[in-house]
């Protein structure tokens, strides 16, 4: 809290002879991409004005894997410095013990939230985090270029590979030497786990570890999917893709240098933003299908949890409720195209008008695949790390897909032991 506010709050409490007017200083930690931070600050300013509390944002690196490492350090040290954590959808089972059970504090509003989102944050009956926003990735594409070259929208990964390659080459011949066909998240981190699971699941290769904790990755469809992805690197995707996270992919696509991009929903507001060079020529659809004939999208999203070590738990709960109320979620959906967690907002006229993809995206979110964080319990981070390592080693040419899948199977089997 800054000094002036502290004095003012103290004075008010003294004058009224009550401690109920305690004004707290809270810290919220989140990993922002795109407009997240800007939109959060606006909501926090409203909260400060309404309540007299002060809220500081503690920013994290963009990659969720880096955030997790830092969060785990703070939490295991029982740090009192952070009151509210913005958690990735996958973390509740691993970090549950460190957070306040929000069941009672949200009993009056929880029915308004998308049930699957609530379920994803419930561990052994404890509500670890209140759902903030959801996500299911989209295939962003340059409709002007498809039209220019008379191409249909690719339905499968193989068609995407061909179309991306043809348009890229034609554009390069026409003088745009920086053009690429497809950008996505190829760095060795959680984002690659999501991409790899999508390639494999859509190809009929299953979910690597299924909902019952069985390891299912050892199959030909998984090998084929990784082989195809390896063929992209240096061909339709820049060699640097091996170190791309979300914002790297968006940077290339938004500056007009890629035909297709896989990204989360936050990118929609930005590629269509006033200052985006491609704002009138970009559209979104679901990711391509593989041999399964179906598309697969991974469920993403972030949710708000109150640390057990916070010295201001009541105020922190008040903040979590505020940031997830209708007004805050509507603003977030409109300003940063984050799909809401309140069911009613999928029928909200203002959101439908300003971010028309959001109501259309609800079925994609509902059908999204969960990463195996629930069945693998405390081991999810290691499981995911084995997945992204396997995918990365195939994409970088260090390993052939068959050996990488066999190694992944062995590593997961060892990790599993009797644990899950």
The H-assigned helical ranges of 149-295 are 157-173, 190-202, 220-232, 246-254, 266-271
Name the minimum Å distance from CB 301 to ligand GLC: 5
x-or-dash pattern for ligand GLC, window 38-67, by CB under 6 A? --------------------------x---
CA-closest candidate to residue 136, choices 291, 363, 372, 311: 363
340 binds ligand GLC (CB under 6 A): no
Distance CA(245)–CA(341), nearest Å, equals 25
Whether the Cβ atoms of residue 103 and residue 127 lie closer than 8 Å to each other: yes
8 Å CB contact between 91 and 312: no
| Rounded least distance, CB 314 to ligand GLC, Å | 28
Nearer to ligand GLC, 147 or 366 (CB): 366
Helices 190-202 + 64-76 axis angle, to 10: 130
Distance in Å, CB of 159 to ligand GLC, minimum? 26
Nearest distance from C-beta of residue 64 to ligand GLC, angstroms:
4
SS3 297: coil
- Residue 239 is given by DSSP the state G
- Choose between 88 and 248: whose C-beta lies nearer to ligand GLC: 88
Options 18-26, 82-90, 303-311, 341-349: segment touching ligand GLC (CB under 6 A): 82-90
Q: Dihedral of the CA atoms 57, 61, 67, 71 (nearest 10)? A: -40
The residue from 264, 268, 357, 420 that contacts ligand GLC (CB under 6 A) is 264
Binder of ligand GLC out of 36, 83, 88, 379 (CB under 6 A): 88
Of the two residues 246 and 348, which places its CB atom closer to ligand GLC in the complex?
Answer: 246
Should residue 191 be labelled a site residue for ligand GLC when binding is judged by CB under 6 A? yes
Contact, 253 vs 183, CB < 8 A?
yes
Give the residue with the Cβ less far from ligand GLC, 312 or 384: 384
Q: Give the range of 93-101, 150-158, 297-305, 373-381 binding ligand GLC by CB under 6 A.
A: 297-305
Segment interacting with ligand GLC (CB under 6 A) among 168-176, 254-262, 294-302, 398-406: 294-302
Q: Which helix (H) or strand (E) holds 48?
A: helix 36-51
Give the residue with the Cβ less far from ligand GLC, 131 or 154. Answer: 131
Which residue number, 62 or 315, has a Cβ lying nearer to ligand GLC?
Answer: 62
Burial (0-12, 13-18, 19+ Cβ within 10 Å), 171:
buried
Exposure of 317 by Cβ count < 10 A (0-12 exposed, 13-18 middle, 19+ buried)?
Answer: buried
Q: Binder to ligand GLC among 154, 205, 238, 301 (CB under 6 A)?
A: 301
CB 181: neighbour CB atoms within 10 A?
23
Nearest to ligand GLC of 154, 301 (CB atom):
301
Residue 89 sits in the site that holds ligand GLC (CB under 6 A): yes
- Measured from each CB, the residue nearest to ligand GLC is 300
Q: Which is nearer to ligand GLC, 90 or 92 (CB)?
A: 90
What's the rounded Cα separation, in Å, for the pair 103 and 35? 30
- 36 vs 224 by CB, closer to ligand GLC: 36
CA torsion 386-389-391-396 (nearest 10°) is -170
Specify which residues 27 forms β-bridges with. 56
Closest distance of CB 89 from ligand GLC, Å: 5
Which of 135, 290, 340, 375 is the binder for ligand GLC (CB under 6 A)?
A: 135
Kindly state the number of chain residues that form the binding site for ligand GLC, as judged by CB under 6 A: 13
Give the footprint of ligand GLC on this chain (CB under 6 A). 64, 88-90, 135, 190-191, 194, 246, 264, 300-302
């Amino acid at each position: 809290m800054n000094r002036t506010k502290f004095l003012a709050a103290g004075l008010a409490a003294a004058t009224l002879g009550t401690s109920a007017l305690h004004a707290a200083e809270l810290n919220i930690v989140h990993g922002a991409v795109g407009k997240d931070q800007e939109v959060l600050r606006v909501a926090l300013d409203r909260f400060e004005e309404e309540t007299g509390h002060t809220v500081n944002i503690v920013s994290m690196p963009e990659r969720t894997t880096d955030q997790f490492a830092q969060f785990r350090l703070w939490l295991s040290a029982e740090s009192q410095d952070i009151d509210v954590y913005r958690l990735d959808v996958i973390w509740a089972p691993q970090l549950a013990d460190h957070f306040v059970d929000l069941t009672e504090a949200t009993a009056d509003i929880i029915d308004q939230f998308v049930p699957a989102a609530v379920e994803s944050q419930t561990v052994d009956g404890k509500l670890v985090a209140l759902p903030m926003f959801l996500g299911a990735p989209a295939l962003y594409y340059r409709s002007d270029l498809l039209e220019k070259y008379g191409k249909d929208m690719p339905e499968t990964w193989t068609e995407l590979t061909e179309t991306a390659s043809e348009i890229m080459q034609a554009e390069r011949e026409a003088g745009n030497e920086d053009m690429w066909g497809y950008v996505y998240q190829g760095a060795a981190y959680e984002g690659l786990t999501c991409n790899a699971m999508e390639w494999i699941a859509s190809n009929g290769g299953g979910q690597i570890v299924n909902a019952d904790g069985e390891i299912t990755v050892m199959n030909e469809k998984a090998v084929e999917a990784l082989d195809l992805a390896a063929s992209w690197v240096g061909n339709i995707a820049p060699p640097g893709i091996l170190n791309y996270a979300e914002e790297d992919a968006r940077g290339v696509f938004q500056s007009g240098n890629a035909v297709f991009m896989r990204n989360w929903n936050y990118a929609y507001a930005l590629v269509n933003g006033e200052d985006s060079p491609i704002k009138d020529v970009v559209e979104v659809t679901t990711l391509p299908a593989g041999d399964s004939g179906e598309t697969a999208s991974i469920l993403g999203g972030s949710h708000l949890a109150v640390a057990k070590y916070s010295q201001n738990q009541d105020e922190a709960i008040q903040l979590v409720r505020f940031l997830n109320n209708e007004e805050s979620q509507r603003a977030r959906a409109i300003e940063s195209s984050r799909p809401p967690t309140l069911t009613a907002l999928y029928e909200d006229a203002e959101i439908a008008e300003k971010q028309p993809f959001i109501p259309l995206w609800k079925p994609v979110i509902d059908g999204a695949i969960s990463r195996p964080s629930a069945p693998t319990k405390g081991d999810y981070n290691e499981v995911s790390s084995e997945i992204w390592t396997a995918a990365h080693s195939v994409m970088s040419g260090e390993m052939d897909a068959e050996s990488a899948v066999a190694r992944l199977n062995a590593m997961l089997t060892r990790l599993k032991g009797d644990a899950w």
